[in-house]
Structure 1
Amino acid sequence: MGKYIDISKSSGESFAAYLAEPAQGSGPGLVLLQEIFGINDYMRDMADRYAEEGYVVLVPDLFWRSGARQELGYDQAGFTRGLELRDELDEDLAVTDIGDTVTALRGLTNHVGGVGLIGYCLGGLLAYLSAVRFDVDCAISYYGVGVHDHLDAATELTVPVVFHLAELDSYCPEDARNSIRKAFDDNDQVRIYDYPGVDHAFATHGRDVFEPLSAGLAYSRTLEVLHATIGPRYDLSALWDRHIYYEFEARDVPATMATMVDEPYVNHIPTLTGGVGQKDLSRFYAHHFVHNNPADTKTIPISRTVGADRIVDEQLFCFTHDREIDWMLPGVAPTGRYVEIPLVAVVTLRGDKLYNEHIYWDQAGVLVQIGLLDPDGLPVAGIAQGRKLLDKALPSNELMPSWASSEGRPID
């Protein structure tokens, strides 16, 4: 997606920076700051991802004085050379380079609005130091190495900053993490997130220490701060509604796919149906979903929670089983039975496009309602699930044989 451009310095020197631009054409600015491995595949991938979120992204080559565009892998040779380059780096000069990158970013014709900083490892330290020194709107530090050695600058920090800290990080051990917390204890613009059971570089895909769940949580928390300070601010609820309209009302597969990123995925958790990637998901939508939903399909909205990059939609899904429903009841011939089942959709967006959907419902409750599962003696419910969801006053605990035995017993 990206390309390299030159960043000019007042001295007449210049250095390279990787530029990734949003498909929308313009957006707020981000400066991504490298690990000790230079502008490698990971840094370019992250720049491209943030461009997909709607940002104009620059990744400056901070090792240029030791040799232009150093690009290292995560093997022992790369680690050894990275440490050498780190030792050769002058932090003050690197921060100056970051300031020049911010200036260059503000000068790009497609940059609109504020500028944020995101740094990893070495870059996590430099993001913090640069947020103190330059006119930027926010900074995010992922497991910054050496932050605890620069806390004398903590009182000078006046913009929102996030620190992502890893419990097992030997480069930022518990004492160092505690000193960071103490330094910013009275600064309500600083958020410090701890990630238990993960190591330094837990967000770096391609490394053995990569932990996708913590990385995903940190990414969402990062976007929350970015959206609040520099934008872009999308109406995620409206984007989800548009996707649903094309799926269930217009029943238009190309229009449905147009609401999604280039390589999306959908996972219907109970039945393992859906698709990964444009090709498989288009096939799934065209032949097994969009045109396979019953004629009387409707949803009753219960609640919707909108976060930084995702939506949790709670609804009652209602239909008559008048055809084979590949995605929900694969291989089951139509029974003509009416079904109401609570359904939850967890939807992640990237920028103004859907990235993935995780869809949950109680399959046992569906099977009870179409007559394929006898609930007698089993702790499962049929249509009563939906009715209880709509009316909290309906009886609770009727599937618990022991419920009556607790009547009148003391509560400790």
Structure 2
Amino acid sequence: MPSVRGTSVDIPTQDGVADAYLVRPDDGSPHPAVLLYMDAFGIRPQLRKLADRLAGAGYTVLLPNVFYRHGRAPVVELPDFIDPARRPEVFERLGPILQSLTPDAAMRDAGAYLDWLADCPLAADGPVGATGYCMGAGLALRTAGTYPERIAAAAGFHGARLATDSADSPHLLADRITAELYFGHADQDPSLPPEQIDRLDEALTASGVRHRSEVYTGAHHGFTQADTAAYDRTADDRHWAALTSLLDRTIGPARA
């Protein structure tokens, strides 16, 4: 992997200061920006490694702690290997924190992240890509619908609750989206049953959104995260190929 440089940064928001991890190619030049949304477990070595890998592909990557209202990362102490079946108390602590992040608050924050990237000399001018995992897939989808003029590509992997019956379900923003989207779903994922996958696809198709939605057979929720019991190397490799293909053809270094 090409040399990259990562650092901790603080991002002012309407509600405080979000700590974040910024990583980019170590050449001093601006590169296309990607907003990487964490899963519920938050910023940790595994997600930094993923951000580093994306930076090595030619991107300036911002990984914010979306739970910053509850403290700097790590908000909850995690074991080196996360197995919810053996450590249910991790989810018990994360549950209330996750539920406290409302769509309105998350999208106020998204605006702050995008403003920060627009002012960052290490991020190239122009639209941004977004990607997210677990809860972060929904945040990426919401960001594409809330800031359509600023997001050119968005991806989500093993996303949860993307097309519910709720009045604030993220799929209801489909008619505002101008970005190209990609979703990699796990077929062994109770947080996104087949009817929600269909509802999401129908909403995006009806709104004319360029998108591709794939179900990864045999994959479980969390399949991209190598520090969890759900990790699936084959599905992870497939996710990486899909993500970099999307970014390269929409905002990639060759387009700069």
TM-score with structure 1 length normalisation?
Answer: 0.54
Of 211, 235, 246, 2:232 maps to: 211
Determine the structure 1 residue equivalent to 2:129.
Answer: 116
Secondary structure of the equivalent of 1:125? Answer: helix
Determine the structure 2 residue equivalent to 1:153.
Answer: 173
Question: Following the alignment from structure 2 to structure 1, what is the Cα–Cα distance between the partners of residues 209 and 112?
Answer: 29
Task: Verify: 1:220 aligned to 2:224, yes or no.
Answer: no
Question: Following the alignment from structure 1 to structure 2, what is the Cα–Cα distance between the partners of residues 203 and 146?
Answer: 18
The residue type equivalent to 2:115 in the other structure is: T
Task: Verify: 1:4 aligned to 2:8, yes or no.
Answer: yes
**Distance apart, 1:182 and its partner CA:** 1.8
The answer for unaligned runs of 5 or more in structure 2 is none
The residue type equivalent to 2:200 in the other structure is: I
Determine the structure 1 residue equivalent to 2:213.
Answer: 192
Question: Following the alignment from structure 2 to structure 1, what is the Cα–Cα distance between the partners of residues 102 and 70?
Answer: 11
Question: Following the alignment from structure 1 to structure 2, what is the Cα–Cα distance between the partners of residues 195 and 32?
Answer: 21
Q: Greater relative contact order: 1 or 2 (C-alpha under 8 angstroms, separation 6 or more)?
A: 2
Of 27, 37, 43, 2:47 maps to: 43
Of 56, 60, 69, 2:60 maps to: 56
**Distance apart, 1:188 and its partner CA:** 5.0
**Distance apart, 1:191 and its partner CA:** 1.1
CA contact (8 A) 2:179 2:209 kept: no
Determine the structure 2 residue equivalent to 1:127.
Answer: 140
CA contact (8 A) 1:127 1:139 kept: yes
Question: Following the alignment from structure 2 to structure 1, what is the Cα–Cα distance between the partners of residues 23 and 132?
Answer: 16
Q: How many residues are treated as equivalent by the alignment?
A: 233
Question: Following the alignment from structure 2 to structure 1, what is the Cα–Cα distance between the partners of residues 55 and 231?
Answer: 22
CA contact (8 A) 2:146 2:173 kept: no
Worse-matched range after superposition: 74-83 or 49-58: 74-83
Residues 259-298 of structure 1: pairs in structure 2 closer than 5 A: none
Secondary structure of the equivalent of 1:197? Answer: strand
The residue type equivalent to 1:101 in the other structure is: Y
Of 132, 138, 141, 2:153 maps to: 138
Structure index of larger Rg: 1
**Distance apart, 1:72 and its partner CA:** 4.4
What are the superposed Cα offsets for residues 221-245 of structure 1, whole Å, 9 maximum, x if unpaired? Answer: 11111011101129xxxxxxxxxxx
Task: Verify: 1:22 aligned to 2:38, yes or no.
Answer: no
What are the superposed Cα offsets for residues 108-137 of structure 1, whole Å, 9 maximum, x if unpaired? Answer: 112114311111111100100010011211
Determine the structure 1 residue equivalent to 2:201.
Answer: 181
Question: Following the alignment from structure 1 to structure 2, what is the Cα–Cα distance between the partners of residues 68 and 37?
Answer: 13
Identity %: 27
What are the superposed Cα offsets for residues 369-389 of structure 1, whole Å, 9 maximum, x if unpaired? Answer: xxxxxxxxxxxxxxxxxxxxx
**Distance apart, 1:174 and its partner CA:** 1.4
The residue type equivalent to 2:214 in the other structure is: Y
The residue type equivalent to 1:120 in the other structure is: Y
Question: Following the alignment from structure 1 to structure 2, what is the Cα–Cα distance between the partners of residues 143 and 96?
Answer: 24
**Distance apart, 1:154 and its partner CA:** 1.6
**Distance apart, 1:44 and its partner CA:** 0.9
Question: Following the alignment from structure 1 to structure 2, what is the Cα–Cα distance between the partners of residues 218 and 108?
Answer: 28
Question: Following the alignment from structure 1 to structure 2, what is the Cα–Cα distance between the partners of residues 105 and 71?
Answer: 27
The residue type equivalent to 1:18 in the other structure is: Y
CA contact (8 A) 2:76 2:94 kept: no
The residue type equivalent to 2:110 in the other structure is: I
The residue type equivalent to 2:46 in the other structure is: Y
Determine the structure 1 residue equivalent to 2:97.
Answer: 85
Question: Following the alignment from structure 1 to structure 2, what is the Cα–Cα distance between the partners of residues 8 and 226?
Answer: 27
CA contact (8 A) 1:18 1:44 kept: yes
Change (3 A) 1:94 1:188: closer
Secondary structure of the equivalent of 1:162? Answer: strand
Task: Verify: 1:99 aligned to 2:117, yes or no.
Answer: no
The residue type equivalent to 1:117 in the other structure is: A
**Distance apart, 1:152 and its partner CA:** 2.0
CA contact (8 A) 1:33 1:126 kept: yes
The answer for unaligned runs of 5 or more in structure 1 is 235-412
Worse-matched range after superposition: 47-56 or 144-153: 144-153
CA contact (8 A) 1:63 1:89 kept: yes
Secondary structure of the equivalent of 1:206? Answer: coil
The residue type equivalent to 2:161 in the other structure is: G
